[in-house]
Homo-oligomer: A and B are copies of this chain.
């Protein structure tokens, strides 16, 4: 593992690190914020999964999460959203290929060799992090924005017991029924839609739900809301009788201004679950 940078930040350290990944077969970069208390022993961890076009860096610099995480004594992990580099397949569209891994393991070419973000985020990166940093494996929570909200929700429901709480900012809620999803799942997973269901949070909600608190924020003026389909998840949560809160935030769009506005609430929400 290489240290790319470490900066003092709210009394803790915002680091950026890279490492060769077995899952993706590429060098992967991630951000990690460690709060002040981390020198004295393992701290709880909040995973933040980013959206389309993002690297590890966008949320790290624009989500305004470190201030509140520092106060709450929580670490933040910012993984990248796809493998990158020469020799890694790509597409001219912003929503397929590099920057658009969708948190799945691709089974179709040309994506299959490197686009294994599910394994990377759920298996390889956790092993690396809990081995190398003072992070409490028993106190994890997960959140994300847009495609990253999709990742957070699907991963949380697929690993019962791993995350104490899950939240999402404007998540892609029903990718099997949206152009943000159908296109990518066709490309990465192939035409058999049965394989897609494991990566659709509205379908997972109906089938499994999440055993812990859940918080979703969605802006009503989100320019991508027709692609996000919050109504599918809203309905599924209510049908499932899932404990959780869905907030339709009037006038907010899809940007990081929206994310940073409600970040204090999300950190407080996870902090309560992680400290409980």
Contact = CB atoms under 8 A, between A and B. Distances in A.
A234 B245 contact: no
A243 B237 contact: no
A37 B238 CA distance: 40
A218 B238 contact: yes
B246 A238 contact: yes
A244 interface: yes
A242 B243 CA distance: 21
Contacts of A8: none
A18 B249 CA distance: 41
Nearest to A252: B243
Contacts of A234: 231, 234-235, 237-238, 246
A220 interface: yes
A179 to B, nearest CB: 17
Interface string A223-264: 001000011111111110111111111110000000000000
A242 B239 CA distance: 19
Interface string A49-93: 000000000000000000000000000000000000000000000
Number of copies: 2
A246 B245 contact: yes
A238 B242 contact: no
Contact of A248 (B218, B220, B243): B243
A238 B231 contact: yes
A243 B237 CA distance: 18
A241 B249 CA distance: 9
A232 B237 CA distance: 11
B220 A231 contact: no
Interface of A: 213, 218, 220-221, 225, 230-239, 241-251
Given A235-B238, A237-B248, 10 more contacts: A213-B250, A220-B241, A220-B242, A225-B241, A231-B235, A231-B236, A238-B248, A243-B251, A244-B247, A246-B247
16 contacts: A221-B241, A225-B241, A231-B234, A231-B235, A231-B236, A231-B239, A232-B235, A235-B235, A235-B238, A238-B246, A238-B248, A241-B248, A243-B249, A244-B247, A245-B246, A246-B246
